[in-house]
Amino acid sequence: MDIAVVNRNAPDLKKVILENMANPPALERLYRQHPEDFRLALEEAYRSYPDSIVLQMWRERLYHAVSTPRPRRPEGTSAAASPWREWLTIGLLTLIAGSLAKIPTWMPSINEYDFFLRYGWLAVFPILIFYLFLRRTPDWPIFLPVMGLLMMSPLYIRHLPDPYQSGAAWLACLHLPIFLWGLTGVAYGNREIGTDPKRLEFLRFTGETLLIGGLLILIGGTVVLFGVGLFSFTRLPVTGFVQEYVIIYGLAAAPLIAAHIVLSQDARWKPLMLLATRAFIPVALVILLIYLILCGINGTTPYTDRHCLNAFFALLPLLSGLIILAIVERPPDALPSGQDYLTFALAMLALLMALSILPVNALELTAGTLSPLQVAVLGWNLLLLGNLVGIGVYYGRFLSGMDSPEPLNRWVGRYCIAYVLWATVVVFGFPFLFSGGYL
């Protein structure tokens, strides 16, 4: 294959890298032509062949050598960008995000609970989307609609009825972050978000950002507690300042710093991601098995116990997200392993849970007046059930040797669109379909 005419697409570059592993000059030319695309494709190739000495040497060169040409930043910013400008941008966006979260404190006339229910997402998604756009030259046909929807969202939410009185408005506020997560995907992938590899990459970005963000919050919280305890011996009134500013602005900074770490493709964080996904699946499987066994011993079912039903409703999205993260983090061309069998077992247990609560949803719909909450819950249950069925089918075919993992990856990447579409229906459709509806 002619290196000079390679399409700058990660899957194509990965194929070229694998074909030229015994041709060092070709790999060097490819790297110098497209340094960052090469870097991303190399990471995908390394996921498939982690034992390759050639790929290991290239990873060491890209991540640790200082004499190689400096690659562009992952999202396509210009070569003039520098680390200090990057951190200055993150600092300024953190100030904006934290200040948005402080609005109820600075304006006592605003109800704090109502503000955060309606506008709490302002401190996360618009800032993160703007940061993603700053990392690359804006694609105006993508940038303008996304920013337009972002600016329209608070105006739309503001004109909804009182969320504590209208069930449809309450659900719209709860589902708006999912809709904005979809816009974040568009900002992340730009025109390529319609491709399967980019959707999987965005799902991986989401999972890794959540994991690293949670770790940063944990570390930051520990440092803050230590600092407050230390300063308490000096009798200085620092507790109020920490609660009012340090914690708020620290929480606002966590998603931005986590996104920066993920986008920087820092290899030092890769073992953490691998360890997290490998640890969470067996732990979740054991805990879920123990919980279900105890429910069986006590005779507790979703049909007889409302707390059990609510627990199933809360567990299903968490389990589905964990299963999806495990799928997108696995090496795409790796053979089935014990981790895959554990993930498949967890998916089957989650599928049984979704099937068990489906009749309860149907009974509630037919028992009385139709409410927006019942319709929303049924919609999510059907969506999660459909996703778990697809994961079970494609995972089973992969584990039995009937198919490659590619159909499973395609299914996971494409099905996430269904979640965003349903959230869009709830946000913009339910307030009109259930005008004045109550929970």
Sequential DSSP letters for 269-298? GHHHHHHHHHHHHHHHHHHHHHHHHHHHHH
pLDDT tens for each residue of 50-63: 778 888 888 877 76
Whole-model pTM: value is 0.78
Mean pLDDT for the stretch of residues 215-231: 87
Residue with tokens 């989650």: 350
Cβ(347)–Cβ(391) under 8 Å?
yes
- Domain layout of the chain by residue ranges: 3-64, 83-263, 269-433
pLDDT tens for each residue of 105-158: 898 888 888 899 999 888 899 999 999 998 877 788 889 999 999 999 999 999
Provide φ and ψ at 266, rounded to 5°: -70, 120
pLDDT tens for each residue of 171-209: 999 999 999 999 999 999 888 888 888 899 999 999 999
Distance of alpha carbon 218 from alpha carbon 208, whole angstroms: 15
Which whole-number Å values give the CA distances from 90 to 121, 177, 241, 253, 353, in the listed order?
A: 18, 21, 22, 8, 42
Record the tokens describing residue 351, joined without a space: 């599928």
Sequential DSSP letters for 289-337? HHHHHHHHHHT--TTT-HHHHHHHHHHHHHHHHHHHHHHHHS-TTPPP-
Residue with tokens 């159909």: 407
Question: Exposed, middle or buried, 306 (CB in 10 Å: 0-12/13-18/19+)?
Answer: exposed
pLDDT at 78 over 70: no
Give the contacts of 189 (CB within 8 A, at least 6 positions apart): 195, 198, 199, 201, 202
pLDDT at 212 over 80: yes
Distance of alpha carbon 62 from alpha carbon 83, whole angstroms: 17
pLDDT tens for each residue of 413-428: 999 999 999 999 999 9
Cβ(207)–Cβ(269) under 8 Å?
no
Distance of alpha carbon 62 from alpha carbon 88, whole angstroms: 25
pLDDT at 72 over 70: no
Q: Say what the pLDDT of residue 77 is.
A: 46
List the one residue out of 343, 321, 322 whose CA is nearest residue 334. Answer: 343
* Coarse DSSP helix, strand, coil percentages of the chain, rounded to the nearest 5 percent: 80, 0, 20
Q: Say what the pLDDT of residue 263 is.
A: 87
| Helix spans in 8-70 (H) | 10-19, 24-33, 35-48, 53-64
pLDDT band at 68 (very low <50, low <70, confident <90, very high): very low
Q: Say what the pLDDT of residue 179 is.
A: 96
Q: Say what the pLDDT of residue 33 is.
A: 75
